[in-house]
Chain A
């Protein structure tokens, strides 16, 4: 058991720092996945719609040099 208040303060500050680190890593991980992620079953509708547009001839490979 810590005997001095300063020991308690040090433990508290360490726990706070560790908590912040975990929070910050998790926040960045989520942000990264928001920006870039794999397509899986959750995205099946979107994928199917885009593939349908290609199959139906609604979309063709883009041949222009720049975006309009």
Chain B
């Protein structure tokens, strides 16, 4: 399904140093700063883990590294569905069977702006990765992405840029006959 680019759309929580720069502090700007500080402290994401418990490399890697991920993502709540909840969930979304563990990240800033009708987060189908090394690498990249983009004012554009960059890197590797970055094989 084609998606319209929305790279230039301003986000409600936007608060870059550029905006704060210049001019004398007024009551309004002080209030804005307070609001901004409150927003920085508030969770940006809700993270959901759905894992019905397939005996897979991805399942084991997630189990072994979850504590570290939780410690690195202390600012955002992580919701872990139990095995029973995950199975019930997957039963209603059967196209996802075998793709779990699934990690869904809801961007609260985007959801407060446009609900779920538009871009509202991102997800990782960890279960599609076959080897422990691939699963661990994906999990590390995912966690890094979460941490580094937490204050992003246009998360969607940054995700799409990253995906394009990854695609371009893949193309270059094909040309150079390298297979090191191969995903899911």
Q: Which residue numbers of A lie inside 8 Å of B, CB to CB? A: 21, 24-25, 28-29, 31-51, 53-54, 58-62, 64-68
Contact = CB atoms under 8 A, between A and B. Distances in A.
Interface residues of B, number: 55
B48 to A, nearest CB: 5
Contacts of A68: 82
Given A35-B183, A50-B106, A54-B79, A25 B167 contact: yes
Contacts of A42: 1
Interface in B92-129: 92-93, 96, 99, 104-106, 111, 116-126, 128-129
Contacts of B63: 66-67
A8 to B, nearest CB: 25
A46 B121 CA distance: 12
Contacts of A32: 163, 166-167, 170, 183
Interface in B143-170: 156, 159-160, 163, 166-167, 170
Given A21-B175, A25-B174, A54-B46, A65 B156 contact: no
B122 A37 contact: yes
A66 B64 CA distance: 8
Interface of B: 1, 3, 46, 48-49, 51, 62-63, 66-67, 70, 77-82, 85, 89, 92-93, 96, 99, 104-106, 111, 116-126, 128-129, 138, 142, 156, 159-160, 163, 166-167, 170-171, 174-175, 182-184
Interface of chain A: mostly helix, strand, loop or mixed? helix
15 contacts: A28-B170, A31-B183, A32-B163, A32-B166, A36-B122, A36-B125, A38-B123, A39-B105, A39-B116, A47-B116, A50-B106, A61-B78, A62-B77, A62-B78, A64-B80
